[in-house]
Amino acid sequence: MLQGARAGVVLVFPNRNHMRYILHVNFEGTTNNLAEYKSLVHGLRTAVTHGVRRLVTLGDSELVVRQVMKDLACRDHKM
């Protein structure tokens, strides 16, 4: 994708407050999977920063989810 890729993160806290982020991953060779992976990492880091100790994550990219769950190995050094 020549113009990069975009992905979003929504953190929902027990008090029902929402934090929303949109990430624009912009470097050569960016794919939708890479954008989703980067958004997942960003969301996890943000959750840790806010002191989250228990977290449920949802994703629509089977590839990214399986890599995070260690069902698949990463071949791309960016992921």
Asked, for residue 14, whether it belongs to a domain, the answer is: yes
Question: DSSP letters of 3-71?
Answer: T-EEEEEEEE-TT--EEEEEEEE-STT--HHHHHHHHHHHHHHHHHHTT--S-----S-HHHHHHHTTS
Asked, for residue 57, whether it belongs to a domain, the answer is: yes
The pTM of the whole model exceeds 0.85 = no
Asked, for residue 63, whether it belongs to a domain, the answer is: yes
Residue-range definition of the domain harbouring residue 38: 5-68
Asked, for residue 76, whether it belongs to a domain, the answer is: no
Asked, for residue 51, whether it belongs to a domain, the answer is: yes
10 Å CB burial of residue 39 (0-12, 13-18, 19+) is buried
Asked, for residue 77, whether it belongs to a domain, the answer is: no
Q: What is the pLDDT of residues 38-73, one digit of tens each?
A: 778 888 888 888 888 888 877 777 777 777 777 877
| Total number of domains in the chain | 1
